[in-house]
A and B are shown apart, each in its own frame.
Chain A
Amino acid sequence: MNITTVDNTLQNIGNDFKEPDTKSVNLNNDTKKPHIVVKNLTMAYGTLVVQQNLDFTVNQGDIFIIMGGSGCGKSTLLRHLVGLQKPSKGEILYNISSNNVSSDLKEINFWEASQEERRLLMKNFGILYQSGALWSSMTLAENIALPLEAYTNLSGTQIKELASFKLALVGLAGFEDYYPSEISGGMKKRAGLARAMALDPDILFFDEPSAGLDPVSARLLDDLILELSESFGSTIVVVTHELASIFAIGTNSVFLDSVTKTMIANGNPKYLLKNSKDQRVINFLTRGESK
């Protein structure tokens, strides 16, 4: 494939996108409930502001992409979304069903939540870290078992069964007794994904899932993400700057800029590619090839 065809592919991606007419937008608003609402968020390390005035909504079932150049604060935003870092200003609200059975949603602010609510939130978060972050002193099965032990009253054998099943889901059947140091980087990512899915969470967060993977493995991971979104209806938030992934899986996105320190675009990545007037966004989405 030569450069011209790559360029064409990118343009085609934009053309694929059908602009939603007013009707379907309304329909969307009715069926898609907001899952995470970020209001006027400012993130900072001490006095150093990373990003400010972030306002966006992640709807239920979205595959939401957080994109932007290196060092613009994507991973920091993810750390805020999963409750590892407290916002300097603004708030993040989550609409979480209070239990597995009822579909009633409860609005929770992580930093103002009670102990019980916080536990409920954490149970509903599944996170795949950039490095996999598997607990190195435990086997893969034990890694997946730990969240189950912490949140359920299942028996040892049931937990073992579930752990094996989750490993099989990510193509690691038979690797139960391996330690993280004994498997490859791609396998670690997949095992990390199995752990993130251990509790069938409502929201899955992925921190640069394809970083360090070969193109085929990255593609397989994208397929897996799409599959999860479709089968389980999970909301998925992905931090990435891999264009191929962004267009393959993203249904909504936010674009962070490191110079103005705020978001400069929000919407479906394909729609942005076709309609954005912002040269920075276009440059990013076309690898700077469309000038």
Chain B
Amino acid sequence: MKYKIINNEKELLLEITGNFLIDTVSDNLTVSDVIEKIDSMKELAKVGFDVTELKKWDSSILTFLKQIKSHCVNNNIIFVKESLPSGIQRVLELAEAVPERKGIRKIDSSKSTLELIGDASINFANSSKDMLEFLGEVVVAFLRLISGRYKIKGSIIIPIIRECSVDALPIVSLISCLVGLILAFVGAVQLVMFGAQIYVASLVGIAMIRVMGAVMAGVIMAGRTGAAFAAQLGTMEVNEEIDALKTLGISPIEFLVMPRVLALSIIMPLLCLYADLMGIVGGMIVGLFMLDLNFMEYYNMTRDSVSLNSFWIGIFQSFVFGILVALSGCLRGMQCKRSASAVGEAATSAVVTAIVAIVIATAIITVLCNIMGI
């Protein structure tokens, strides 16, 4: 591209030659070069083009010309559009056909720390309100259920029960067994020093049955079933399926949330029992093969050291976790916005909420048991 100055520095003619394409744009003059040239000519009144040698062109020439044009318009210089090929003229006109609406551009407003804290507080208050509202609706639905005002069909609850029980067994087995194994290992290293390796059985038994069985089952279910609930309900929200229920006068809480909460609160204690057993099996593997304990010895020690209270506490915790995981999953699913990424966010948020809820509930139950001396 070359400059041609004519008419006593009053007119600038840009000679554009060869190809002006996205991949060859670097061979051409840049916009800033041309603008610099325009600015350097004090008397300039007109910018025109000589395109007789221009071969192929694409969008890169359009953005180039558009910027020169707006610079010319701003500086009261005539931009001789007519000297361009008709195709380019038409596309430039098309781009200007619908002018930008005033106030439509998003303003990049960086908020102050105080504003951010304020926003976060308002969001927290709103989400707490939503959560309470949701809990309230679930309680009302539960009362309606036990007073017989509506029923949950077996065909709805049974697939959910299967999804969160039988299907979850392999992963619960693996994780619980490994947790028992790890507990036994860590304990064994210390206890062997005192020749008290038999107490590995007590350590694993009490830890698994009182807390770890329930917590591990809870965390697994939060990641597995809680996320699945959120994704299912979130997708239903996206597909207007929840609207379809609402406009039929069928409460989504009664139809979708209650069966899931019920299913998980029934299944979790059973899963916890299974996790306890697998944990003890894990501990036993270490006991039998590493510490050379005898099976009966290990079994008797476990039986003697674990109290029935610990067992019931574990079962109770898992029941609570079941409700918490199901509620978190359903809450986040129902809050899902209408996009594919929102479903992913709902699932993530469901897992986080459920795990936080599980940890808080464990802390509260442990403190309460301590106070009551159980």
Query: B-contacting residues of A (Cβ < 8 Å)?
Result: 79, 82-84, 118-119, 122-123, 125, 127, 129-131, 133-137, 146-147, 150-151, 195
Contact = CB atoms under 8 A, between A and B. Distances in A.
A119 B245 CA distance: 13
B240 A123 contact: no
B55 interface: no
Contacts of A83: 247
A234 B230 CA distance: 38
B240 A130 contact: yes
Contacts of A119: 249
B249 A122 contact: yes
A123 B249 contact: yes
**Which 10 A-B residue pairs are closest in the complex by CB-CB distance?**
A122-B249, A133-B240, A133-B244, A129-B240, A82-B247, A133-B241, A127-B247, A147-B248, A135-B241, A119-B249
A84 B235 CA distance: 18
Contact of A133 (B159, B232, B239, B250): B239
Interface in B222-279: 232, 235-236, 239-241, 243-250
Contacts of B236: 135-136
B244 A127 contact: yes
Contacts of B243: 79, 84, 129, 133
Nearest to B150: A150
B240 A122 contact: no
Contact of B247 (A122, A130, A137, A146): A122
B249 A150 contact: yes
A29 B240 CA distance: 37
A108 to B, nearest CB: 13
Nearest to A143: B244
Interface string B37-49: 0000000000000
Contact of B241 (A82, A123, A134, A150): A134
Nearest to A199: B248
B29 to A, nearest CB: 40
Main secondary structure of the interface of B (DSSP, over half): helix
Contacts of B235: 136
Contacts of A133: 239-241, 243-244
Nearest to A121: B249
| Residue of A131, A133, A146 contacting most chain B CB atoms (<10 Å) | A133
Nearest to A195: B244
17 contacts: A82-B247, A123-B249, A125-B247, A127-B247, A130-B240, A133-B240, A133-B243, A134-B241, A135-B236, A135-B241, A135-B244, A136-B235, A136-B241, A137-B232, A146-B248, A150-B250, A195-B244
Contacts, number: 46
Contacts of B159: 137
Interface in B17-74: none
Interface in B187-231: none
Contact of A84 (B239, B247, B250): B247
Nearest to B250: A150
Contacts of A122: 247-249
A118 B247 CA distance: 10
B249 A118 contact: yes
A6 B290 CA distance: 88
Contacts of A118: 249
| Residue of B159, B243, B246, B247 contacting most chain A CB atoms (<10 Å) | B247
B242 to A, nearest CB: 9
A60 B159 CA distance: 43
Contacts of A136: 235-236, 239, 241
Contacts of B232: 137
| Residue of B232, B240, B250 contacting most chain A CB atoms (<10 Å) | B240
Nearest to A79: B243
Contacts of A84: 243, 246-247
Contacts of B249: 118-119, 122-123, 150-151
A84 B243 CA distance: 7
B245 to A, nearest CB: 8
Contacts of B248: 122, 146-147, 150
A258 B206 CA distance: 67
A145 to B, nearest CB: 11
A123 to B, nearest CB: 7
Given A122-B249, A135-B244, 18 more contacts: A79-B243, A82-B247, A84-B243, A84-B247, A129-B240, A129-B243, A130-B240, A131-B240, A133-B240, A133-B241, A133-B243, A135-B241, A136-B235, A136-B239, A137-B159, A137-B232, A150-B250, A151-B249
A131 B246 CA distance: 16
Contacts of B240: 129-131, 133
B247 A131 contact: no
Interface string B343-366: 000000000000000000000000
B83 to A, nearest CB: 31
A122 B250 CA distance: 10
B147 to A, nearest CB: 16
B244 A129 contact: yes
B113 to A, nearest CB: 25
| Residue of B243, B245, B249 contacting most chain A CB atoms (<10 Å) | B249
Nearest to B160: A137
B145 to A, nearest CB: 15
A132 to B, nearest CB: 8
B162 to A, nearest CB: 13
Contacts of B244: 127, 129, 133-135, 195
A100 B23 CA distance: 72
A151 B159 CA distance: 24
A147 B232 CA distance: 21
A287 B243 CA distance: 33
Nearest to A82: B247
A131 B239 contact: yes
Nearest to B235: A136
Nearest to A128: B244
